[in-house]
């Protein structure tokens, strides 16, 4: 896994976002980060650890899951859906 003093790469960011059926803007708003942060994460750029945690919480997962695990094959929204 890529690491630096400034941040980490999140290889599963887009997959988790798509799994939760969210747009980049929706995820950014839910996480309290700028949309460019989500865009950069999905492009494979390093993201600050604090922002990784915020994105993970918005996705309903841990930061460790976001960095290391792909989502399950079955899709599921974060928001309550019938």
Q: Tell me the pLDDT of the chain (82 aa) as tens digits.
A: 444 556 899 999 999 999 999 999 999 999 999 999 999 999 999 999 999 999 999 999 999 999 999 999 866 555 654 4
* CA 36, chain centre distance (Å): 12
Q: How far apart are CA 6 and CA 25, in angstroms?
A: 23
Q: How far apart are CA 67 and CA 79, in angstroms?
A: 22
For the chain, give every domain's residue range: 13-68
Per-residue pLDDT at 12: 95
Q: How far apart are CA 38 and CA 73, in angstroms?
A: 22
pTM of this structure:
0.82
Q: What is the CATH number of domain 13-68?
A: 1.10.260.40
């Amino acid at each position: 896994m890529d690491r630096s003093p400034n941040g980490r790469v999140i290889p599963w960011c887009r997959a988790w976002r798509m799994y939760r059926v969210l747009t980049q803007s929706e995820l950014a708003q839910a996480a309290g980060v700028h949309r460019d942060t989500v865009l950069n994460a999905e492009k494979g750029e390093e993201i600050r650890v604090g922002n990784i945690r915020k994105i993970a919480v918005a996705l309903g997962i841990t930061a460790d899951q976001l960095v290391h695990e792909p989502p399950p094959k079955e899709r599921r929204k974060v928001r309550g859906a019938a």
